[in-house]
Amino acid sequence: MNAQVPLTRKDFQTDQEVRWCPGCGDYAILAAVQSVFPELGIPREKFAVVSGIGCSSRFPYYMNTFGFHTIHGRAPAVATGLKLARPDLEVWVATGDGDSLSIGGNHTIHMIRRNVGLKVLLFNNKIYGLTKGQYSPTSEIGKKAKSTPFGSVDRPFAPLALALGAGATFVCRSVDVFQPHLKSTLKRVASHKGTAFTEILQNCNIFNDGAWDAIAEKDVRDDHVLFLEHGKPLIFGKAKNKGIRQNGFDIEVVTIGEGATEADLLVHNEQHPSPAYAYMLASMDTRPGFPTPVGVLRAVDAASYEDLVNGQIQQVVSQKGKGDLGKLLRGPETWEVR
């Protein structure tokens, strides 16, 4: 490939027929990724997209990069091995709520704990799609699905809160239908060192249609979505007159002009030294009257796992010299038989 010719969206499309259901939110996510990758200035062969199992995990087949569709839940672990072996690659992980939070929950938290340099796209549709409609670990309590005809009684995970609990250095959220927002968020994801954990609210129009309507639908979204911008106050609402104010150890929704001014509001700081602030944002949407924050909740610098692992190897080599196989085979003590 000639490096002089800039890449386009088309360069990242494959000749494979896309087999998601018509109207699936995954199409919009694919389009956004395919339009962001060429803008990153990275040669196409340096991208590797790794996935697990589920609708979202078919993603690599449609990306004209290196791609690995692995097994259920294990994409973070496969990707960790790949990134350790090849820190030069841009390794993206495509996963779903069942894949990464249920069967692969352990790998997800440990990937985040280690801060492996992986870009994780969690397609959250709050349902099992590929197995035809069972409730998932992000389904709301009372979810009536194939396996819960009387409603689920499980409490759901808040994916970003879980990630923060595991020590995430970067968490963000966007929505399948928010194309410009999704693209700008993906660019932030691309530039983070360490695990960049992205929740993308995605509609499954077959098994959980409208799950995110309050956020995605144009006429109501402004009252339910809080667009986060670093250094800007937490304001939302159609009239831009609602905001989030700190109240002791808690937060509250206030209306500007009704006993509160813009100056009273919390100002978004994605680099807040305490993860508690981002945790509060990550779990806000589960509370009545509170909006769903989208954008970058937290972005702090920390050494990536692959840099630490490979740095240690380089350090040992520089101290002890390159390993000598003959010496290794002889071991600490030998004797001669003549």
Partner 1 sequence: MSTAIAPPEAVSGTKREQLLSAVIRFCGDSGDGMQVTGSQFTNTAALFGNDLSTFPDFPAEIRAPQGTLPGVSGFQVNFSSSEVHTPGDAVDVLIAMNPAALKTNIADLRTGGILIVNSDSFTEVDFKKAKITSNPLEDGSLAGYRVFPVDLLKLTKAATKDTGLDAKSVDRSKNFFALGMCYWLFGRSMDGTLRWIDSKFKGQVAEANKLTLRAGYAYCDATEAYQTAAYEVAPARLPAGTYRNLSGNTALAMGLVAAAERCGLPLFLGSYPITPASDILHELSMFKSFGVITFQAEDEIAAVTSAIGASYGGCLATTTTSGPGMALKMEAIGLAIAVELPLVVVDIQRGGPSTGLPTKTEQADLFQAIFGRNSEAPLPVLAPATPGDCFWVALEACRIAVKYMTPVIVLSDGYLANGAEPWKVPSPDELPSFPATFRKDPEGFKPFMRDTATLARPWAVPGTPGLEHRIGGIEKQDVTGNINYEPANHDKMVRLRAAKVAGVVQDIPDVVPAGDPEGDVVIVGWGSTYGSITAALLALRSKGHKVGHVHLRHLNPMPKNVGEVLKRYKKVLVPEINLGQLAFILRGTYLVDAISYSKVEGKPFKQSEIEQKVLEVMK
Under the rule (CB under 8 A), what is the footprint of partner 1? Answer: 1, 14, 16, 43-48, 50, 53, 60-61, 63-71, 74, 77-86, 88-89, 106-107, 110, 309-310, 312-313, 316-317, 320-323, 325-326, 328-338
In whole angstroms, how far apart are CA 277 and each of 115, 174, 272, 295? 20, 19, 7, 14
Nearer to partner 1, 5 or 263 (CB): 5
Nearer to partner 1, 6 or 332 (CB): 332
The pair of structure tokens assigned to 169 is 């250095």
Residue partners of 234: CB distance under 8 A and separation at least 6: 226, 228, 243, 244, 265, 266, 267, 268, 293
Nearer to partner 1, 219 or 336 (CB): 336
Nearer to partner 1, 263 or 325 (CB): 325
Distance CA 279, CA 284 (A): 8
User: In the bound complex, what is the minimum distance in angstroms from residue 80's beta carbon to partner 1?
Assistant: 5
The pair of structure tokens assigned to 187 is 């660019």
User: In the bound complex, what is the minimum distance in angstroms from residue 74's beta carbon to partner 1?
Assistant: 4
How buried is 161 (Cβ within 10 angstroms: 0-12 exposed, 13-18 middle, 19+ buried)? buried
User: In the bound complex, what is the minimum distance in angstroms from residue 166's beta carbon to partner 1?
Assistant: 11
User: In the bound complex, what is the minimum distance in angstroms from residue 54's beta carbon to partner 1?
Assistant: 13
> Which of 166, 200, 171 shows the shortest CA–CA distance to 33?
200
Nearer to partner 1, 236 or 305 (CB): 305
The pair of structure tokens assigned to 321 is 């010299």
Q: Are strands 119-124 and 90-96 parallel, antiparallel or unpaired?
A: parallel
User: In the bound complex, what is the minimum distance in angstroms from residue 142's beta carbon to partner 1?
Assistant: 32
For 134-153, what is the HEC assignment? EECCCCCCCCCECCECCCCC
Nearer to partner 1, 58 or 245 (CB): 58
User: In the bound complex, what is the minimum distance in angstroms from residue 335's beta carbon to partner 1?
Assistant: 5
In whole angstroms, how far apart are CA 17 and each of 14, 41, 196, 241? 8, 27, 29, 46
> Which of 78, 48, 61 shows the shortest CA–CA distance to 16?
61
The pair of structure tokens assigned to 200 is 């993308």
Nearer to partner 1, 78 or 216 (CB): 78
User: In the bound complex, what is the minimum distance in angstroms from residue 224's beta carbon to partner 1?
Assistant: 36
How buried is 74 (Cβ within 10 angstroms: 0-12 exposed, 13-18 middle, 19+ buried)? buried
User: In the bound complex, what is the minimum distance in angstroms from residue 60's beta carbon to partner 1?
Assistant: 5
Nearer to partner 1, 218 or 320 (CB): 320
